[in-house]
Structure 1
Amino acid sequence: MKENDLLDDCQRHLLSSSDSEDDQRPDINDLYIDVLESEFQIPLQPGWFSRRTRMERYLMLAATTAVFVVVGLAISLAGVVYSYRMGILKGSDTSMLPLISAEPLTACQETFPESPSETCQSKGCVRAAAKLIDSMDEAVNPCDDFFRFSCGGFLQKKIIPDEKSSLSRFNEISDDLQEKLRGLVEADPSDDDSPATKMVKNLYKSCMDTDRINERGLNPLKEILTQMGGWPVVEGAAWDSSGFDWHTNVYINRKLGYSLDYIFDFSVTTNIKNSTWRIIDLLIHPPRFQFSLPKEERRNATKLYNLMTVAELQEKVPQIPWLQYFNTILSPFHEIGIDEPVVVGVPDYVKNLGKLLTRTPKRVIANYMLWRVTAASVGYLTDDARDIQLKYSKKIVGKGTREPRWKECMGSVSGSLSHAVGSMYARAFFREDAKAAADEMVRYIRAEFDQILHTIDWMDEATRERALAKAKAITPHIAYPPELLEDDKLTELYDGLEISNGDLLENMRNLTIFGTNYSFKKLREKIDKKDWKNHGAAAVVNAFYSPLENSIQFPAGILQGVFFEAERPKYMNFGAIGYVIGHEITHGFDDSGRQFDEKGDLRDWWEKQTKDKFLEKAKCIIYQYGNYTAKEVNLNLNGINTQGENIADNGGIKEAYYAYLQWAKDNGEERPLPGLPFSTRQLFWLSAANVWCGKYRPESLKLRILTGAHSPAEFRVNGPFSNLPEFAKDWSCPAGAKMNPSKRCAVW
């Protein structure tokens, strides 16, 4: 490694002068001592030189001269290093040192007080150090590209498996979690298995029974298509359009366990302006037809909240029999009248769609709707049918091979019976010390966000008071609710669901019917925002913020691996899961989350001048990320669509950083990791970056940029880190470096 590729001179000196006896890096003083010892251990024998031949004498003389030259150089270099150290640490005149300016020295002096004399030698520290070393590329200058400095080894060594469209730390933890679950689910049935556990094992078994699936072939799908009136593209001229009506087919979908949302999304959901009650919602997900609202305009929740009665909707869109439509779908749980309130996401969309459905040939509509049914079914059919799906996937995300069958089945089971699977995982694998540690970090990080709210200079006092009230009201849900371990609660939750070890497609349709019924039954029920069932998906590698609950959730599945380990130093955990915790807290105050108050209701609680200042600061983030280019596909990011996640990233890492500094102040400085020449603060940044090590297939990266809400991995590191002066200071990045720009963006 070339010196100038990694660290400036100031850092190189401080990091190579460790007093730790466990440090494996060769110190120049150690080399000097080794040379002297080798000299003095040569036994001196009288007459020995005179007994040598002339050639041997010449060779010995040359060797001795070379040794003394090495010793002289070593002493000189040691003297320079010592003088350099004294100049930095004692404030001596350093003007005669070449290639070192006063500015980096000042930053170095302020950033790195002398570290503890010993590195941490625990197993947790050794493992953490090994993982960082394996991920890094120390040939990259951290002030130029911290993502590749931290993750370059990962990018070089890791190969995206054929069955994946991308590879990330999330994938690695999820794969490990799935392996653990596989062991639980494939275990022999036991009399001690709860009804929920039996259900999980039956669903998994039906998915793994490829002999039965292949034996039945396409017959399950053919039977379904027949009940829906036939698929015109298959039936050809024999298809009879006289018996087809699109809303009648929606009713059939409801009965047979398929989605109701092929034309528009019908749901019973939380009323965002009165979040303790539910309401009927017609939400249009972007973009299915030309009348849909662009994604960039859908970030304003008020724009999507258009309240009207069924009667008003009928008048606006007379082509659709709305009262009949709603009552048929809600049957047998509710019957509504023409005065029932409905939230219509995009009224013009529904109005234009009504006209479009009237003038579009029935054959076209039927082909579209039954294609959607077929596409939803293919994954549960024969290998030949699934190969067609795979070809489509190859074009869209670049994935050319299916995952192992067990992994596909485990994914389906985990997604469909998340509470039952989460219960099994929590009982077998979750460590309670992880929950206690996460609780502690949440407290520290929330305190730092409160401090930010107290000190920012662009917020008026009235808005500040409301913001503090909202921050205080955030409810954390860590790991899993205790009810998840109660068999009776799970039995009650899944009451009425039928899962057999037989037909896979039938099982999946039963799950859809059960989920739809569960949702629709709750139309008239008051919402309990702390209901354990809303936070019971424990075996998930993700984290969430709910604006309607004003809550943050960190399932048990993410409290492991690169995100969290109880045995490693706190700076590693604050950098990793702490970054995620701060990210989720900040979501409550990003461009979308800020639209909701402390109760979870859509309400404008901002004074105008403060809202204008927020939008101006958000605009900086939009422009910054919108000017980032993913070179692999030569596409710029969409700064508007990703602004919420980017604001959360920038706020989250800042909160986690200062939370760790406060923790260290309260509990004492920790020792750095062995084998790495970095301070604890630098290791915080490395841990945070390591969370986002990942790579994509070009097709997947392109799709992510065009449709996703998250920036690609490298920009989730370089973007927020470069916006923080604290990062540049800790790494002594010179002014104007890519990671220490002259212009920065900051919202929180």
Structure 2
Amino acid sequence: MYHSTRVPSPNSSSSAILQRRGPSPSFDVVVSTSPAPSSTSSGPRILSPSDVLLHTGISITPISPSSMPSPPLMLAPIAEQESDLSEGSAVGEPCTSGSERNREVTEATRVSERSIDLHLQTSDEEVQQRQVTGQSIANIREDVVTPESPEYSVPYAAEPSRHIIFPITPFYNSKNGCNKCTIWLALLFVVFLLLSIALFLVWAITSDGFRNLGVHIPNVCSSKQCIDTAFRFSTYMDPSIDPCTNFYRYSCNKFHTQAEDQRRNFIDQQKDATLRQVHALLSAPDDATSARSSKFAKLLFTSCMDAGQRASRGPAPLMALLRNLPCGPVLRECTSFNPDFYNWERHVGMLDWYSNGFNLIVYDTDVHPQDRSKMILQIRPPQLEPLIGETRRQLIALANPSETEYEPLLQASIRQNLLNEVVQQTFMRDPVEVHTQLDEVAQFIVDIDKATVLTARLTPNTTYMTIGEFTRALPEINFREALNAELTNIYKWTEDDMMAIQDFDYFAELSLIIARTPRRAVANYLMIVTGFHLQQYSNQPSIQFSWRDCVAQLSELQPVEKMYILSRQNISTEKINSFLQNVKKDFITTHRSYPLQYLGRINQMSFYIGYPRRLLSEEMVWRPFSKVNIDETNYFTSAITVLKQQRNYMLSQIGTYLDNDDTTSYNVLVPTIIYNPHVEGIVLPISFLQSPIAQPGETAPMYAIYSTLGITVFQMLSKIFWLQLDETPQKLCLDSIYRNFLNPSYRNIQIDTALANTIELSDAVKTTDYSYSKWQDQVAVHQEAVLPAFDQLTSLQSLFLGFGTLLCNTDGEVPGSSYEATINSAIGNSRLFSTAFQCSNSSLMFNRRTCV
């Protein structure tokens, strides 16, 4: 329905028609001019354009009559969305009936059903008059104009018009529609308000919100790294123990109460995580994009996991190999052994990889002293820790022998716990039958172990000389015979070739040990360690293998390393390297009181992070195996062939050059930080850069990074640094502190070694404190985000607890053990620890003097 309002003018017979319906967001105003009637009328007053503009607050310039035809002045609305026409009515006018509405719509057929037309009819003279007099529209009387009125006019639809948008919203003319909207909006607002009040009350009651109003809520870190760290804290630490009394027990007491398979140090945890990741990669099916090296590794893994074919062959492949190698009389089939004609150097040379790192002379690679990128031959002592390490630890834990008791008890333990088992399971002989020979081997192992321990260092004493010079320096060792036995087929050496000898003193001692040891004992030793190494690839009836064994065996292969690297491309090597460079600078800064020549090695130190780029090259990874055929039905032979081929290819690279991101020893899948003195670098393999080691670039607080990655690198730098110095003053200072934490009944037979380890760890803790505090000052952040459920800890307390729980180890299971004493002495050397935990000066952990 249309409602028209007429505003009469006393000076004109023209009329203005205002047609209105419901609320409208805006209006088009169409302004045109026409001559006024010549006669004067007392009818309704006409609105002039200026009156309209005064009402709306908009000013325009009127159109000259000469610029266009002279239709009536009119206002036309913008088309709106369809709405109920019955909702609106004029102010003070009753609603009309349905028939009246229909009649009005019919009579206004040329007028839009959705418009509000204001028809203004005026003359040029009145426009000018109104502009001159400035008559206010407030004094204009309103009247109703119907379609029958003479003032009513229909706009000219065909005439050109000019549109001006007027932001007029005549909501005040509506009675019914907007009242309903208002009621609904009011109801919604009330419901929302009630719900908000209810939610606030629930929060306040359940979270103790009223009590905490105005209390600072700590910033809690919720990243995966923080959750992992918080889990380690909650499962290792014992808050019932005072950290100022025994920090190791405070950090690790609950660790020692866990099940045996859960008591693993962080290195063992990383090894397990790496094995699981490699297992998932080797178990995944191949696709069209799988590389040759990947398919090759998966084929070997499938063969290893085939229990049926391995059981059908049993130990026969292993025994066949041992019979084709130089043997000792401990092997039943070795009936032709003659000690007078036995050449131990040739035996050593032929075994090479078969006896792994247990050989009496181990071949490896080094770099040339004048050209650190050129590879040369290296010989080094054996590493017997994997062979007798567990036996040694059990002996110390159970018997706690004195220094005079140690060697006889170690020999008996090796004889009983190691040799008997290998001979019985691998060689299938009754140990009683060869007990005399096994006693000789046990004594020989103790002698070799003693020689390697005396000369073992983090930075071994490396001597560079030609092959000819070495043979002349130790004529008791026929080294040429060892080279010609096997290595000559791989590496064409000459007498003038430079060679690196690790621990020359060991080889001098070896010649003396060989001279006093029966030849059959030497031959039996080499036979036993070869069988000990190779039995893992064989199928022994008494040994059950699992996927872990298969994965561990194949982890030595470069194709497997490549698969693992490709699955770990998310580490930020640049950020890690930047952090480590700052670590190195801070270490140098804290040791400026020492002569600069001792810091030279630290200053030249480089970091090898993650992996060498060559392992991403399919061509380089596949090259050693391009001519190797795998027999899927014979895992033992296939595995031995593949691993031996990789070893030979590595030795064949002697004389070539290393890439700048590579070293002579880069075991990607061994999660252990390694110092390589040959290239003056610290190697951090990609398998080491995983939980619980926090890394820069991850969403972890800096105290978590410093207490894991930082402390381990600082400890390695400390080891390198203190090997150059006389540690006697520091040992004397720490001795009484160390013994305060040592159980009086615990007879430590290696006190000097324990104090040396304590010095290195104390230095690492002190330097970590300095570096982290420096970072806090630089960024002006002295309280970082807290760990979940540990918001009561300060950042400094989290720092100490971080490396306290990181160092939990089964070696500290016995209260007052040497390992526990080392940790407590190192932490007690830190003044910052006493401050962070507010230790009283009467507590055991209080820093009374700083020894390092």
Aligned runs of 1:114-125 on 2, under 5 Å?
A: 118-120=218-220, 122-124=222-224, 125=226
Which structure carries more helix by proportion? 1
The alignment status of 1:323 with 2:464, answered yes or no, reads no
Deviations 1:217-239 (A, max 9, x none): 12112211221365523437944
1:562 and 2:663 are equivalent in the alignment: no
Q: Is the CA contact 1:541–1:555 (under 8 Å) kept in the aligned structure 2? A: yes
Q: Deviations over 1:113-163 (max 9, x none)?
A: xx975232535545543442332211100011112212222222x2112xx
Correspondent of 1:450 among 581, 588, 605: 588
Q: Distance in 2 between matches of 1:343 and 1:117?
A: 61
User: What secondary structure sits across from 1:552 in the alignment?
Assistant: strand
- Among residues 669, 672, 691, which one is paired with 2:806 in the alignment? 691
Determine if contact 1:250/1:260 at 8 Å carries over to the other structure.
no
Secondary structure of the 2:687 match is: helix
State whether residues 629 and 636 of structure 1, in contact with CA within 8 Å, keep that contact through their aligned partners in structure 2. no
The letter of the residue matching 2:239 is: E
Q: What CA distance in whole angstroms lies between the structure 1 residues aligned with 2:773 and 2:561? A: 34
Q: Secondary structure at the match of 1:477?
A: strand
Q: Distance in 2 between matches of 1:181 and 1:303?
A: 33
Counterpart of 1:198 in structure 2 is 295
Scaled by the length of structure 1, the TM-score of the pair is: 0.67
Q: Does 1:665 align with 2:777?
A: yes
**Is the CA contact (8 Å cut-off) linking 1:306 and 1:343 kept in structure 2?**
yes
Corresponding residue SS for 1:205: helix
Q: 1:631 to 1:187 in 2, by over 3 A?
A: farther
Where do 1:23-102 residues align within 5 Å?
A: 30=211
**Contact kept in structure 1, 2:291 and 2:618, CA below 8 Å:** yes
Q: 2:707 aligns with which of 559, 572, 575?
A: 575
Q: TM-score, normalised by structure 2?
A: 0.59
| Change over 3 Å in CA distance of 1:356–1:718 after alignment to 2 | closer
Equivalent residue runs for 1:302-701 within 5 Å: 304-305=461-462, 314=471, 318=475, 320-338=477-495, 350=507, 354=511, 357=514, 362-386=519-543, 405-414=546-555, 416-417=556-557, 419-432=558-571, 434-435=572-573, 437-454=575-592, 456=593, 459=594, 463-464=595-596, 466-467=597-598, 469-492=600-623, 501-526=632-657, 528=659, 530-532=660-662, 537-564=667-694, 566-591=698-723, 594=724, 611=725, 614-617=726-729, 619-620=731-732, 623=735, 627=739, 634-636=746-748, 638-641=750-753, 645-669=757-781, 670-676=784-790, 677-695=792-810
Residue pair 2:462, 2:504 contacting (<8 A) in 1 also: no
SS in 1 for 2:289: coil
Deviations 1:436-456 (A, max 9, x none): 5533432432232132133x2
Q: CA deviation at 1:26?
A: 8.7
8 Å contact kept, 1:626–1:639: no
Residue 233 of structure 2, aligned match among 101, 117, 132 = 132
Distance 2:770 2:264 in 1: 30
Deviates most, 736-745 or 243-252: 243-252
The match for 1:145 is: 246
Q: Is the 8 A contact 2:222 2:787 kept in 1?
A: no
Kept in 2, the 8 Å contact 1:540–1:558? The answer is yes
Residue 738 of structure 1: aligned partner:
844
Give the letter aligned to residue 260 of structure 2: I
Distance in 1 (CA, whole Å) between partners of 2:280 and 2:331 is: 42
- Matched residue, 2:830: 724
The corresponding residue for 2:64 is none
Give the Cα–Cα distance (whole angstroms) in 1 for the partners of residues 379 and 634 of structure 2: 33
CA separation in 2, counterparts of 1:207 and 1:476?
36
Q: Evaluate the alpha carbon distance shift between residue 377 and residue 385 of structure 1 in structure 2; reply closer, same or farther with a 3 A threshold.
A: farther
Cα RMSD of the aligned pairs, angstroms, is 4.2
Q: 1:425 to 1:366 in 2, by over 3 A?
A: closer
SS at match of 2:848: coil
Q: Are the aligned partners of 1:213 and 1:382 in contact in 2 as well (CA < 8 Å)?
A: yes
TM-superposition CA deviations, 1:618-654 (whole Å, max 9, x none)? 5348847974887699342634445665444333333
Deviation at 1:337, TM superposition (A): 4.7
The answer to whether the Cα contact below 8 Å between 1:692 and 1:716 also exists between their aligned partners in 2 is no
Give the Cα–Cα distance (whole angstroms) in 1 for the partners of residues 334 and 230 of structure 2.
Answer: 68
CA change 1:651–1:123 in 2 (3 A) is same
Change (3 A) 1:410 1:666: same
| Cα offsets for 1:160-219 (capped at 9, x unmatched) | 12xx9x622332333233222221110112232212222321232232122111111121
Letter in 2 for 1:384: P
Pair 120,209 (structure 1): closer, same or farther in 2 beyond 3 Å: same
Residues 314 and 321 of structure 1 are in contact (CA less than 8 Å); yes or no, is this contact kept in structure 2? yes
Closer, same or farther in 2 for the Cα pair 1:327/1:427, shift >3 Å? same
TM-superposed deviation, 1:531: 4.1
Unaligned 5+ segments in structure 2 are 1-202, 385-444
Instruction: Letter of the 2:344 partner, please give it.
Output: W
2 CA distance for matches of 1:191 and 1:290? 55
Go from structure 1 to structure 2 and tell me whether the alpha carbon gap of 1:681 and 1:248 turns closer, same or farther (over 3 Å shift): closer
Q: Distance in 1 between matches of 2:849 and 2:283?
A: 56
Q: Kindly tell me: are residues 668 and 170 of structure 1, through their superposed partners in 2, closer, same or farther at Cα, counting changes over 3 Å?
A: same
Q: Distance in 1 between matches of 2:216 and 2:610?
A: 34
Give the 3-state SS of the residue equivalent to 1:554 in structure 2.
Answer: strand
**1:584-630 deviations in Å (ceiling 9; x for gaps):** 33343131xx4xxxxxxxxxxxxxxxx5xx43345348847974887
Q: 1:503, 1:237 → 2: CA distance?
A: 25
Output aligned runs, 1:212-361, within 5 Å: 212-228=309-325, 231-235=328-332, 238-241=335-338, 244-254=342-352, 257-259=354-356, 262-270=359-367, 275=372, 277-285=374-382, 288=445, 290=447, 294=451, 297-298=454-455, 304-305=461-462, 314=471, 318=475, 320-338=477-495, 350=507, 354=511, 357=514
Percent of pairs with identical residues: 18
C-alpha change, 1:546 and 1:229, in structure 2 (3 Å) is: closer
User: 1:228 aligns to what SS in structure 2?
Assistant: coil
**Cα separation, 2, equivalents of 1:195 and 1:628:** 60
Paired residues in the alignment total: 581
Highest Rg: 1 or 2? 2
2:264 aligns with 167
Return 129-138 or 628-637, whichever deviates more. Answer: 628-637
User: Tell me, what secondary structure is at the counterpart of 2:264?
Assistant: strand
- SS of residue matched to 1:143: coil
Corresponding residue number in structure 2 for 1:92: none
Contact 1:286 1:293 in 2 (8 A): no
Q: Which runs of 5+ in 1 are unaligned?
A: 1-20, 34-114, 387-401, 595-610, 706-710
CA 1:525–1:155: 2 relative to 1, 3 Å: same
1:183 and 2:280 are equivalent in the alignment = yes
Asked whether the 8 Å contact 1:621–1:647 carries over to 2, the reply is: no
Instruction: Indicate how the Cα distance of structure 1 residues 280 and 590 shifts in structure 2: closer, same or farther if over 3 A, else same.
Output: same
CA shift in 2, pair 1:469/1:227, >3 Å: closer
Q: Any idea what the Cα deviations from partners look like across 1:418-470, whole Å, max 9, x if unmatched?
A: x43343233324423x545533432432232132133x2xx2xxx42x45554
Deviation at 1:682, TM superposition (A): 0.7
Maintained 8 Å contact 1:327/1:334:
no
CA contact (8 A) 2:345 2:479 kept: no
